[in-house]
Structure 1
């Protein structure tokens, strides 16, 4: 028995007569939406309804997970578990035919109505095991997006996932591919405090599902064991980020993320979450250690011939005329290229503009020390693209971060000075790339290459305006960059407060220009109202302040600081909040670290001297801290230091001072515990001045 909705065919031969799972009345709401409204109105409806199911089922970003697959108009696609059709539309636009299988009639009706103009879509309603025997064995792609984890429910038995895959293999055409998108049970987001996607509790996947249930997600190693048991030969893994549901970027083993790239981590929308640590910083360390494939939040496993594609990034959070996809591809000879494709018809002009921008920028920077990445226009199946040479090197932003990490402030400013010299060449020419941020410049030795210039305009833009925006974006991307000396940068640029105000307004107007009326995913998350809980703050509320105001000393004799060799000096406090003590250490100590407390606090330094000589607190080669030093009316030797962290510390480089065989550090300071939020506010007030100019805090 079949029904038709528009041009879509629904096959009910195996439908059991009732839906065995349902999200409740919200599915009726979604059905009414897809009947009444066109696809272009979904973004507005998502913002108005503020509903997780509506976002999940209707967001266009759901299609990203299959959009980059090289499906051709001659290909046949099988989509198992098609649900409300979140990816069916993308498949139907790419393929010759799409066969969907889903157990729910209500969801299949939603799918059919929203894609009613797709004459190449057939939806089989019923249990997969009932429908499967009637399916042909010539599918070029079989897609399981968020489905493989339900194998036990679909198939049953002692080896449900292996049996599921073996059944699917029977329906694959020679040279075809099976595509599986699934959460990683050891994804970093779960360690950081996101609830498990299916069970809705904390750490159940990490704890190996102690309470049972039929849903299972896997590590990459476990997936590969399942594939091996099914005699799978060629397979490749991709890493959708932040996860496969609302993917904005996909990485591969041929192109893994670099430091600083993984910053959009608060992307759970359906539930409250804890925030146990900063996922961006954790990802930076994971990337540096080569462990990203272990802790990626999701996997996309492709069984069959590997793709030419190494990487794709989606810019969906934009107005229709600017939505694009960026790809890195490797051809059969191993040559890499970068391509940018329009995601909408309206964005085709924007992509064509990139080749024109290249020619103009090449002329402006001819004879300079800034290369412009070569761009060639192209066309594929009637769709224009811009092709760029793949350039090796490291982002300038990454080099700057390394300078800040090792407290090489002069190194940072040297890079910034070179940036100004190179990008300012030909400033009087009426053509400029407005997006000349540090991340868009790759550095390879003495070669600096501008790699992304889609926002090039035919007008003169002052170099200091471009540099102001570069600093603005750089600092906002990462809290740790707040340590930057903005006064020195603004002095270098000779920017007045009025100019800074104009630049900020210019940035707001530019963002409106790029995004139109579309809300970002971060803004949508805020609309849905999911809470973010920080247990470390709860702990601070219940700790006794007396236990927190303990001083701890670390010594570095060439092997770094270690907890094992640290100690707590006794009888530190001579009165409430007044610490007065001495630290004895030998001549082998290079660095001495003093932690004034184990909580956020403010310290007034009355004395800090080594062998009777004051420690020069303003000399960053000698004295460093993870707090904010406030100017004091008593002079540079008696400042206050604010710490908005539970691990406040001050480090003194003893080997450049009057170090002797036996040494004494004399310390007198007032230490007052304050709430972390208050400490952050106080540090923000202190930033008034240069930071206020940059971020508009005045």
Structure 2
């Protein structure tokens, strides 16, 4: 580390403190010290292991390599000059430095800038300016090729403090852009579907704040697409385009555009917030499918990546970099020099280059296997860089989409017709020592025979599959479009088909209507074989991921809850009847309704009641009915004239079963707790205080719990 006046050097990174105010004005607390320690003492190759071991949101957020996806797809020249505003801990700095000629970073936090420097200390083309943006901005040059606002533009009010902060911030940055340069803004959509479904607003941590247009105030603003466009227009920006990171820009796994929007069934990774508890008010996948079908996806995309300047040739990108390093790749759809769509796959690590090269071999081997059959293999050739492979772009519908349509229309017979056709086609020369293990339904694209554009338009409006439509599909071209998991050994068609069905059903609950017994019968496999195939699938997933945790598993490990109100809201539908508290008094002749009464306003919280009762000296037994439903009750306090009533058969009898610590489970809709007042020191007037927690539970759960404990009478 070298320090000279306002300049500090960490490795090859230069930090400029000329405008540093002398203290960090924002901080995540001790976890930043933890992250600084990690980047000082561990290699980036170890970050994934550390992230999994520590299972903390800030560690995942700042160090996950998936954060780079939001900028990795952007093509940049080796001599590009880049400005990164709000660089933070350097989640994207390394990727920019790898691709560009020079990277200038700005961040207010010294500690975060040090984290950035230590983790990228081998980069000799990065300078980090530490301090207030408004102080640094006047000294910035005016020839940047790219200016990045990744999760920063929403703080425009804090940056400028002006009446129109977002317009003023953008106008200011446009002055620092080359004539043909680009500004890239990654930001949440305040009307993103995940916020309707129950995710909290990312910056404020509150429910529905963005949807309500920040009615409660706060210094952060995210925008709809139209809101961003209005800002652009106010700044005189005419050339811009929108991309749609999914699930959002933070841990993007797919990038869509107006040139390639998502198709129904694609958006299935939706429980991807890691920073706090959330509600789950509806099935986001099904909602996204409906939104997509109605052409409204750009309105409800969770995030935007807005590009100011010329559009890019890339129209779609999908990342598979949560795998083991030797299989980390990016798949993209782009426009070639002739204006045609092509598909490319790129190695995202040096270890993955061999995997890319194997795809050309797989193409040759699979084409040889299926020659003379009814499956076509999408053409593949290696690119000159040796790190990429190119494939032809094929128009059509995936077999998955067609099968989904059959299930939605309850055309189960046609589903089985198509499945048998699929099985016949993949069985061709199955004895040969080459097999595509990943011949799932989404990897087969079907171009129906002799279907004109006009007929295609009509088919989109009328989703029914009549006999002529079925024949057009059966006679059409079936193309394998993705075969990266091709192995040089024979694999039986029934194993391949079972895996395809297994994956198909797991991805979508709507597909549970499929009769798996009929599928198994068609395949002619035993239950033992089916279990073996499931175990092989688990082994394959471990092979691909290198036994690392998936992002879904990381969310579970971090430990934030997903609350599903629909699973318990029903208990409030009849709460006025079911949550009544009734008191009976026995004066020697037993209980009767005439000597009972209901206690009003006993609830002090959602599940907590407090009773303060008075009884005459001639009351021998007091019965408390805590609810009119199956429930679990914990007695937190029970006193008689200020003295604790000891639990046990002598003083308390119930028609429930005792758990522990004064808790009882009642497998009845008439639960009661009886206190033997005759065994206690009574006076003419007596006071009973009871405080209880009451949780209503379904009948089956109550009976299961009661069956597991000893009954007390």
Correspondence 1:471 to 2:474: no
Corresponding residue number in structure 2 for 1:430: 433
Assess, with a 3 A threshold, how the Cα gap between structure 1 residues 546 and 18 changes in structure 2: closer, same or farther: closer
Between the aligned partners of 1:497 and 1:280, the Cα distance in structure 2 is 31
Between the aligned partners of 2:175 and 2:331, the Cα distance in structure 1 is 34
TM-score normalized with structure 2 length = 0.76
Offset, 1:219: 0.1
Matches within 5 A, 1:261-410: 261-380=266-385, 383-410=386-413
Corresponding residue number in structure 1 for 2:103: 98
Offset, 1:545: 9.3
Offset, 1:543: 2.3
Give CA deviations for 1:435-471 in whole Å, capped at 9, x if unaligned.
0000100111011110000000011110000000000
Assess, with a 3 A threshold, how the Cα gap between structure 1 residues 674 and 448 changes in structure 2: closer, same or farther: farther
* Contiguous gaps of at least 5 residues in structure 1: 549-672, 682-698
Corresponding residue number in structure 1 for 2:447: 444
Corresponding residue number in structure 1 for 2:526: 496
Give CA deviations for 1:369-400 in whole Å, capped at 9, x if unaligned.
111000011133xx511100000011101110
Corresponding residue number in structure 2 for 1:8: 13
Instruction: Decide which of 551, 568, 587 is 1:538's aligned counterpart.
Output: 568
Matches within 5 A, 1:646-657: none
Instruction: Decide which of 258, 281, 284 is 1:253's aligned counterpart.
Output: 258
Corresponding residue number in structure 2 for 1:662: none
Offset, 1:233: 1.8
RMSD: 1.8
Assess, with a 3 A threshold, how the Cα gap between structure 1 residues 676 and 79 changes in structure 2: closer, same or farther: farther
Corresponding residue number in structure 1 for 2:551: 521
TM-score normalized with structure 1 length = 0.78
Give CA deviations for 1:308-358 in whole Å, capped at 9, x if unaligned.
000000001211100000010013532000000011100000000000000
Offset, 1:537: 1.9
Between the aligned partners of 1:352 and 1:359, the Cα distance in structure 2 is 12
Q: Find the residue that maps to 2:305 and give its secondary structure.
A: strand
Between the aligned partners of 1:110 and 1:543, the Cα distance in structure 2 is 52
Between the aligned partners of 2:138 and 2:238, the Cα distance in structure 1 is 25
Q: Find the residue that maps to 2:387 and give its secondary structure.
A: strand
Between the aligned partners of 1:437 and 1:47, the Cα distance in structure 2 is 30
Return the index of the structure with the highest Cα Rg: 2
- Structure 1 residues 499-508 or 51-60, which shifts more? 499-508
Give CA deviations for 1:233-281 in whole Å, capped at 9, x if unaligned.
2100000000000000000000000000000000000010000000000
Give the number of aligned pairs.
Answer: 554
Correspondence 1:44 to 2:49: yes
Assess, with a 3 A threshold, how the Cα gap between structure 1 residues 270 and 22 changes in structure 2: closer, same or farther: same
Q: Find the residue that maps to 2:298 and give its secondary structure.
A: helix
Give CA deviations for 1:461-488 in whole Å, capped at 9, x if unaligned.
1000000000000000001111101111
- Structure 1 residues 225-234 or 327-336, which shifts more? 327-336
Between the aligned partners of 1:280 and 1:334, the Cα distance in structure 2 is 33
- Structure 1 residues 100-109 or 371-380, which shifts more? 371-380
Corresponding residue number in structure 1 for 2:424: 421
Corresponding residue number in structure 2 for 1:613: none
Corresponding residue number in structure 2 for 1:217: 222
Moved over 3 A (4+): 545-548, 673-678
Offset, 1:675: 4.9
Offset, 1:547: 9.9
* Contiguous gaps of at least 5 residues in structure 2: 1-5, 449-475, 579-695, 705-713
Corresponding residue number in structure 2 for 1:667: none
Between the aligned partners of 1:547 and 1:472, the Cα distance in structure 2 is 45
Matches within 5 A, 1:137-216: 137-216=142-221
Q: Find the residue that maps to 1:379 and give its secondary structure.
A: coil
Between the aligned partners of 1:74 and 1:674, the Cα distance in structure 2 is 65
Corresponding residue number in structure 2 for 1:75: 80
Between the aligned partners of 1:160 and 1:547, the Cα distance in structure 2 is 54
Correspondence 1:112 to 2:117: yes
Offset, 1:214: 1.1
Q: Find the residue that maps to 2:262 and give its secondary structure.
A: coil
Assess, with a 3 A threshold, how the Cα gap between structure 1 residues 392 and 526 changes in structure 2: closer, same or farther: same
Between the aligned partners of 2:575 and 2:178, the Cα distance in structure 1 is 68
Between the aligned partners of 2:697 and 2:446, the Cα distance in structure 1 is 43
Give CA deviations for 1:132-162 in whole Å, capped at 9, x if unaligned.
1111111110000000000000011111101
